[in-house]
Amino acid sequence: MRITEFELERYFARWEFAVRHVLCASDVEGWSMGELLALADDESAELWKDLRLGYTEAPGHPLLRREIAALYETADAPDVLVLSGAEEGIFVLVNVLLEAGDHAIVTWPGYQSLYEVARACGADVTLHELREADGWAIDVDALRRQVTPRTRLIVINAPHNPTGMLPDRATFDAIVAIAAEAGAYLLVDEVYRYLEFDEADRLPAGVDAGRHVISLGVMSKSFAMAGLRIGWLASRDRELLARVAAFKDYTTICASAPSEILALIGLRARGVILDRSQTLVAQNMVALDALFARWPNTLSWVRPRGGSIGFPRMREDLDIDRFSAELVESEGVLLLPGTRFGHPGNHFRIGFGRTDLPAAVAGLEQHLGRVAR
């Protein structure tokens, strides 16, 4: 397989651990081991203490699969396959579903692997462009027109990376119906689920929306444990999951034993875990609203409706690539230019899941004060 480089990940590989403040991270500030273990119930504390570091069950620890299934209304443990990050979920699922001659529709701008893996499998990929002028919304009529007799997969991501867009319920239902009419699978990348700013906006999970809909979840974002590298696919199409599981024999075989137990602890304590993430994001949004209010002629955005990231636009005369390069040099603050998404609009991704956001914003404003007055 030949695959185009993952622009965003190459950028992070260069900068993430070389700067003072990552103001474009998509994860929520990670839990410490001590704090997480303090949340363990008796059973999972035992499992942690007695854990043997052998191979694990290929589809995932039975208790972990059961706990993940409990996130959904219609899924049982056999409808869940544990993977090493959402990234592995995308890779294995798309490899199983698509081959040369197939057609896929994927929203764009977006997380690159959601369309790049499909291309590498030989599929024709139609990008469904989200536009700032439309509030980054998915255009269901345009989506319907993009379907062809060869369309086998439609991919959406909500809340969305990088814009924070969240479709309304009617739009979501229409997309589910379009995929069903097309005889296609719908992959719903839900890694930012539970970070809706208004809980009433939370969409039904994909797996609960139909047998042709697949949910992609992960511990990295709303559950604030990216270092576990634990993700999952949930689907009531067990034959499909079996094929994905067989493909996984060629990637990781099974998940990390310690990570599975830590994920189990985290999911069992999800009330506390999600509350911390939601509170942190809400606090950071207050700081960002104030930032945008102080720089009305320089920074603008479609305010996200969920997730831990947004996609603001920088004033036209301040080239975002140059601005970001100078910012990291002068203040050690990292932004992610929209060009890394192949997007031409002078946008950048900003992340608001980290505790150092106030210090990072102070650095950003120092630099703005120098170049944007």
List interacting residues with ligand PLP (CB under 6 A).
Answer: 26, 85-87, 111, 157, 161, 189, 191, 218, 220, 226, 231
Determine the residue type at 356: D
Question: Residue 88 CB, nearest distance to ligand PLP (Å)?
Answer: 7
Question: Residue 259 CB, nearest distance to ligand PLP (Å)?
Answer: 12
Residue facing ligand PLP at closest CB distance: 85
How many other C-beta atoms are found inside a 10 Å radius of the C-beta of residue 245?
19
**Computed over its alpha carbons, how large is the radius of gyration of the chain?**
20
Closer to ligand PLP at the Cβ: 259 or 368? 259
Question: Residue 182 CB, nearest distance to ligand PLP (Å)?
Answer: 22
Question: Residue 362 CB, nearest distance to ligand PLP (Å)?
Answer: 25
SS (H, E, C) the chain: CCCCCCHHHHHHHHHCCCCCEECCCCCCCCCCHHHHHCCCCHHHHHHHHCCCCCCCCCCCCHHHHHHHHCCCCCCCHHHEEEECHHHHHHHHHHHHHCCCCCEEEEEECCCCHHHHHHHHCCCEEEEEECCHHHCCCCCHHHHHHHCCCCEEEEEEECCCCCCCCCCCHHHHHHHHHHHHHHCCEEEEECCCCCCECCHHHCCCCHHHCCCCEEEEEECCCCCCCHHHCCEEEECCCHHHHHHHHHHHCCCCCCCCHHHHHHHHHHHHCHHHHHHHHHHHHHHHHHHHHHHHHHCCCCEECCCCCECCEECCEECCCCCHHHHHHHHHHHHCEECEEHHHHCCCCCEEEEECCCCCHHHHHHHHHHHHHHHCC
Closer to ligand PLP at the Cβ: 108 or 111? 111
Closer to ligand PLP at the Cβ: 114 or 178? 114
Question: Residue 141 CB, nearest distance to ligand PLP (Å)?
Answer: 24
Question: Residue 196 CB, nearest distance to ligand PLP (Å)?
Answer: 15
Give 187's strand partners.
Answer: 155, 214
Closer to ligand PLP at the Cβ: 226 or 234? 226
Closer to ligand PLP at the Cβ: 26 or 324? 26
Closer to ligand PLP at the Cβ: 85 or 337? 85
Question: Residue 227 CB, nearest distance to ligand PLP (Å)?
Answer: 10
Residue 80 and residue 162: Cα distance in Å, rounded?
A: 27
Closer to ligand PLP at the Cβ: 226 or 360? 226
Question: Residue 188 CB, nearest distance to ligand PLP (Å)?
Answer: 11
36-59 burial: b if 16+ Cβ within 10 Å, else e? bbebbeeebeebbeeeeeeebeeb
Question: Residue 369 CB, nearest distance to ligand PLP (Å)?
Answer: 31
Determine the residue type at 196: E
Closer to ligand PLP at the Cβ: 27 or 331? 27
Burial classification of residue 9, based on how many CB atoms lie within 10 Å of its CB (0-12 exposed, 13-18 middle, 19 or more buried): middle
Closer to ligand PLP at the Cβ: 80 or 368? 80
Closer to ligand PLP at the Cβ: 157 or 324? 157
Question: Residue 181 CB, nearest distance to ligand PLP (Å)?
Answer: 25
